[in-house]
Amino acid sequence: MKYIQTDKFTDNCIVVRSLLPLKKESITAYNMLIYLIRSRTEKLPTKVEFSTALNEAYGLKTAFGLSGYGSCVCLDMRISYIRSDYIDEKDYLDQVLFLIDQILMHPLLDEANFEEAKYLYSERLARQFDDPDSLAILSALQLVDEKYPLSIAVQGNIDDVKKITYEDLCNAYEDVKQAKKMICACGAIEEPVLDYLKNLEGESKPEIKRTLVEPSNFKNENVERHISQTSLVQIYATSTDISDPLYYPLLVANTMLGAGPMNLLFEEIREKHSYCYSISSSLLRFDGAMLICCGTQKKYVAHVEELIAKQIERLATGDFSEEDLNIAKMDMIDMIQSQADRAMGMIEQYFFDEMLGRINSTPQSRIDQVQSVSKEQIRTVMSRMQKIVQVCVSQEGEEE
């Protein structure tokens, strides 16, 4: 168990992360499991009892979530509570400990609530199709070759929901119990809570396998909907792993392209051409992929595509100033430094370093890596980029 001790937050935060294999045949069950275990426990078997107990423990907060990291999916159980020296109540810490134990170790896997979990989860999956941006991203990931983990939707599949039984969810929970775990707490954690966390079983060093998407034949899809504007999503193979010496140059290049406060996509496509309100790039680091998303009018799509390609080429040919490079670096350094102001940010970074086996990672070492990135490295890493997928969810009947 990792304890990040700090006195500056009102809340103490705990995250227990279980590492599970990311497979198409099990991901839907893991998602549905969350709906089953998140709102009742053995000793608080109804929603009323559970939510009342949370309120009375000064709004103790819980959150369950799944996120994909290459071939692995992490199920996070997050708990945050107001530190006990802020609360002038004798039995407050006992209440907190009772709830932590109930939430982490005694969720109620009740067959009676299985139908509710199925209903709520399938409703959430269906809602994704209402949002053109989500639909475009989902469709783009589905076009990635199925040999890559990236092609598996971490949020699960609506077609698989119907097939899942209560026994499947019990088995999924057994998987979670048996899974390798990482535990991290941040704040001014009290001794009894620390002792409890130290005694949790199953903690071990994770091993994450990464399978990078490779440059391949370009796939393209257009979907028409009766909507106000077109969602354009592109996926690029970066051919750059986290262990690659050009990994930090890739992070800086992504900031310059579409993630930083000043970026080429924003400047050229939004500010110069007024083609959109929102455009950005983001990295799927464990998969060696970059995602570019833009909301625009159908008639502009072809030119937007051209302009995106041009901005990538600018980076690949060194057509940018030292000032652009420095601004991107400063933005990244600011992000690294501001992580120390968020308990969950520090926990995330700890997990990330653990999953990559980075033993000597510190904020300063990461800042040094960012600072050492050169223009030449940006050129090299961006010349590796290859577009592999594009999806347009576009306005029905509009002129191109």
Does 160 contact another protein by CB under 8 A?
no
Per DSSP, helices labelled H in the chain are 24-37, 47-56, 92-105, 114-127, 132-143, 158-161, 166-178, 191-198, 247-254, 264-265, 301-317, 322-338, 343-355, 363-371, 375-382
Among 341, 368, 376, 400, binds another protein (CB under 8 A): 341
Among 23, 111, 126, 400, binds another protein (CB under 8 A): 126
Longest dimension (CA), the chain: 69
Does 362 contact another protein by CB under 8 A?
no
Nearer to another protein, 146 or 396 (CB): 396
Does 145 contact another protein by CB under 8 A?
no
Does 365 contact another protein by CB under 8 A?
no
CA pair distance 275, 17, nearest whole angstrom: 41
For 139-164, give one letter per residue: b (16+ CB within 10 A) or e: bbbbbbeeebbbbbbbbbbbebbeeb
Does 47 contact another protein by CB under 8 A?
yes
Among 11, 160, 287, 354, binds another protein (CB under 8 A): 11
Q: Which of residues 219-258 bind another protein (CB under 8 A)?
A: 225-229
Does 10 contact another protein by CB under 8 A?
yes
Does 38 contact another protein by CB under 8 A?
no
Give the phi and the psi of residue 277 in degrees, each rounded to 5: -95, -40
Identify which of 379, 337, 341 has the alpha carbon closest to the alpha carbon of residue 250.
379
User: Which range binds another protein by CB under 8 A, 146-154, 191-199, 235-243, 267-275?
Assistant: 267-275
Identify which of 293, 255, 254, 210 has the alpha carbon closest to the alpha carbon of residue 385.
254
Does 398 contact another protein by CB under 8 A?
no
Does 50 contact another protein by CB under 8 A?
yes
CB 296 → another protein: shortest distance, Å?
7
Does 178 contact another protein by CB under 8 A?
no
Among 5, 48, 209, 309, binds another protein (CB under 8 A): 48
CA pair distance 70, 189, nearest whole angstrom: 32
Q: End-to-end distance of the chain based on CA atoms, in angstroms?
A: 56
User: Which range binds another protein by CB under 8 A, 67-75, 114-122, 199-207, 209-217?
Assistant: 114-122
Question: In whole angstroms, how far apart are CA 271 and each of 155, 225, 268, 396?
Answer: 34, 27, 6, 27
Nearer to another protein, 41 or 229 (CB): 229
> Residue 30 CB: number of other CB atoms within 10 A?
23
Does 147 contact another protein by CB under 8 A?
no
Our CA dihedral for 289, 290, 291, 292, rounded to 10 degrees, sits at -150
For 257-274, give one letter per residue: b (16+ CB within 10 A) or e: bbbbeebbbbebbbeeee
Q: How many residues bind another protein (CB under 8 A)?
A: 62
> Hey, which residues does 291 pair with through a beta bridge?
235, 282
CB 354 → another protein: shortest distance, Å?
23
Does 303 contact another protein by CB under 8 A?
no
Does 338 contact another protein by CB under 8 A?
yes
Nearer to another protein, 61 or 180 (CB): 61
Does 52 contact another protein by CB under 8 A?
yes
The DSSP code for 112 is G
CA pair distance 50, 52, nearest whole angstrom: 6
Does 46 contact another protein by CB under 8 A?
yes
CB 85 → another protein: shortest distance, Å?
12
CA pair distance 95, 192, nearest whole angstrom: 12
| Binding residues for another protein (CB under 8 A) | 6-11, 39, 46-48, 50-52, 54-56, 58-59, 82, 86, 115-116, 119-120, 123-124, 126-127, 129-132, 225-229, 260-262, 270-271, 273-278, 295-297, 323, 326-327, 330-331, 333-334, 337-338, 340-341
